[in-house]
Amino acid sequence: MTDSPSHDDIVLLARQAGLNLPPAYLQELVEAYGNVRQMIDRIPTGRPRGDEPAHVFVPTKFLPAGQ
């Protein structure tokens, strides 16, 4: 998303993601959207398909207690 969405668009985005805040907090939500969007736009993209993120699953880390 590169266009600047409206206040109502941002509220709708959050609602569709399951966050339906009372009106008192909607201005905070709009400001948060702007901050997040700027950070996302600064993260490099266009990476190779196999580029592994900085988290891994180690199966032995999730054994039941005692094993």
CA 18 – CA 21 distance, rounded (Å): 9
> Considering beta carbons, is residue 2 or 20 the nearer one to other proteins?
20
Residues that bind other proteins (CB under 8 A): 13-14, 17-22, 25, 28-29, 31-33, 35-37, 39-40, 42-45, 47, 51-55, 58, 61-62, 65
- Token output for 23: 């009106």
CB atoms within 10 A of CB 10: 19
> Considering beta carbons, is residue 3 or 54 the nearer one to other proteins?
54
Least distance to other proteins, CB of residue 24, Å: 8
What secondary structure, in 3-state letters, does 11-22 show?
A: HHHHHHCCCCCC
